Amino acid sequence: MTVTSTRDGDVATVTIDRPERRNAVDGPTATALAQALARFSADEEARVLVLTGEGEEAFCAGADLKALETLDVDAPGGPLGITRATSPKPTVAAVSGWCLAGGLELALWCDLRIAAETATFGCAERRWGVPLIDGGTQRLPRVVGLGRALDLILSGRPVAAEEALAIGLVTEIVAPGGHLTRALELAERLAAFPQAAMLADRRAAIEGSGLPLAEGLALEHRLGRETLAEAMRGAARFAAGEGRHGAGA
């Protein structure tokens, strides 16, 4: 098995399991990632997905350069299996060690990124003349801004965890070995929220990021209206005393 999938309550965990190759992705691994996403998407009891790599040495070192012929550049989900898809539900990357090239693109595919202090990010494929074709040229500017994204894309330089946090590439840094535990804690918190409004807000943010403001606002309005029943129930709970003074935040 090059990819393992488990679910504990509302949270699914997908692990790239090729530590001997620094969790680099070959064709069978890409297929397994696509299958794991399909199962998560179809599982109504799974609310959040955590993506990680086996061990602490690497989240993912990108495409397996010794097995490039096994990867399908034209695959609907992208060469790495999932990067041309958008998960219908929140995703969190738990990153330790190397997160390079296609591995960085997989981390960027996730909504949030929890990184161990040992994590190193970068577009290392620059050195080998390999293009970013798993979403990196599109998602990295959306996360860190165009200027910083071009710095990383053009230079291919390594970025340590502290800089990654400073530029907004990662959400939070934790002690070595704590990345998966913290990612699961965060995922469980997201899974505990009322889902309709959170999913609507997430969709509006993702789909609206490339739209003119007026169109983005119209999308937000349409999706928000669809959740008004849940909003009314939440407002009633607050009016009855639940959550006062920050309780449960």
Take residue 56 and report the two structure tokens written for it. Answer: 């602490």
Rounded Cα distance between 91 and 11, Å, is 10
Report whether 82 contacts 33 (CB < 8 A). yes
Rounded Cα distance between 6 and 201, Å, is 27
Q: Which residues are catalytic?
A: 105, 125
Inter-CA distances, 83 with 96, 126, 130, 151, Å: 20, 19, 16, 22
**HSE (side-chain half, CA atoms, 13 Å) at 18:** 21
Q: Which of helix, strand or coil describes residue 123?
A: coil
Rounded Cα distance between 7 and 230, Å, is 26
First to last CA, the chain: 39
